[in-house]
A and B are shown apart, each in its own frame.
Chain A
Amino acid sequence: MSRLSRPTLLIQKGSVFVAEYTLIAEPPLAGYDETFGDMRLVAPADFALVSIALPLGREDKALKAIKTGYGVDLPEVGESILSKDGKVRLLRMAQDQAFVMFTHSKPDAAQVVSKKIKDSAYVTDQTDVWTALHLSGPSSRRALERICPIDLDTEAFAEGHVARTVMEHLGVVILRDAADSFVLLSASSSAGSFLHAVETSIHNVT
């Protein structure tokens, strides 16, 4: 949701409200953390993801704002980079689109990013669209080769590389965030199938 959104509703000025009901956040794989042999599979907590679309004809301005906001240049398509403070990862998904990945618990990640880049690009909150799994350990590649068509060889898929692909009929974004460590993103509605696919791969090689 854009921060620019203009509320169309009247606001009752001065009214004090007490919320009668409380909503509980229940991301699909929340709290998942398992170890299998030399591998660990975790659903990262407070995972936030925001899409940035570069406005046509105003790309330079947006890229500059990103550089100012995060202290790094937006990388090439298929690559990612950590912000200067190391807290945010920018993933270039397409020519005119990138994801911003960071740790943030409140449901206002889009506004956070929009502010950071001074409204220079179109942002859309993707936090709840996706569910994330973090797979690490020496056998990670062996497990992933059962479902991932991308070449994950250490040289072919260097640290920071990111690819969107398909695994077990599910669209998946795969990011290599360390030597033997991968972040996998897939649609939140099919989180159960996604987890099952990854767990089965791990089981089949351990």
Chain B
Amino acid sequence: MIINHPLLGPRDAAEFVYLGDASLIDRPDWQDEDAMDQFHAYGYLRDNPAGEHKELWYHEQGDRSWLVVTRNTLTHEITNVEIARDVARARGRDK
């Protein structure tokens, strides 16, 4: 597999570490009333789509950036690769 890093260009998947669903960026607020339920969902509940999936990859043997990779789970086609920090900011994670 090859991941087209937004800054570094195409790199072999061997340089990367896979984490999982990019929804892990959306960590709930610990002070919300239903924080326990939210964290339960955050920790354990995942969609398992047959098709496009946004997922987190870490360029460990590279620039140490976390990436949000949009990959088709049926074909392995990668249609988008974004810097996870930019995605997290865009999704409104404050601090």
Does residue B29 face the partner (Cβ distance < 8 Å to A)? Answer: no
Does residue B8 face the partner (Cβ distance < 8 Å to A)? Answer: yes
CA distance A77 to B5 in the complex (A): 11
Q: Does B12 contact A149, Cβ atoms closer than 8 Å?
A: yes
CA distance A164 to B63 in the complex (A): 7
Chain B 54-69 near chain A by CB (<8 Å), digits 1 or 0: 0000001111110000
Q: Does B61 contact A165, Cβ atoms closer than 8 Å?
A: yes
Chain B 4-20 near chain A by CB (<8 Å), digits 1 or 0: 00011101101100000
For chain B, give the interface size range.
10 to 19
Residue of B nearest to A163 (CB): B8
CA distance A165 to B59 in the complex (A): 9
CA distance A152 to B12 in the complex (A): 14
Q: Does A94 contact B64, Cβ atoms closer than 8 Å?
A: yes
B10 to chain A minimum Cβ distance, whole angstroms, is 9
A-B contact count (CB 8 A): 34
With contacts A78-B8, A95-B7, A149-B15 taken as known, whether A164 is within 8 angstroms of B65 at the C-beta atoms is no
- CB interface residues, A 23-74, toward B, < 8 Å: none
Q: Does B15 contact A77, Cβ atoms closer than 8 Å?
A: no
Interface on chain B toward A: helix, strand, loop, or mixed SS?
A: loop
CA distance A163 to B7 in the complex (A): 11
CA distance A165 to B60 in the complex (A): 9
- List of A residues within 8 angstroms of B60 by Cβ: 171
CA distance A97 to B85 in the complex (A): 15
Q: Does A94 contact B14, Cβ atoms closer than 8 Å?
A: no
Q: Does B65 contact A95, Cβ atoms closer than 8 Å?
A: yes
With contacts A78-B8, A95-B7, A163-B8 taken as known, whether A171 is within 8 angstroms of B61 at the C-beta atoms is yes
Given contacts A95-B65, A149-B11, 18 further A-B contacts (CB under 8 A): A78-B7, A78-B8, A78-B9, A93-B63, A94-B64, A95-B7, A95-B63, A95-B83, A97-B63, A149-B12, A163-B62, A164-B61, A164-B62, A165-B15, A165-B61, A165-B62, A166-B14, A166-B61
A interface residues, Cβ below 8 angstroms from B = 77-78, 93-95, 97, 149, 163-166, 171
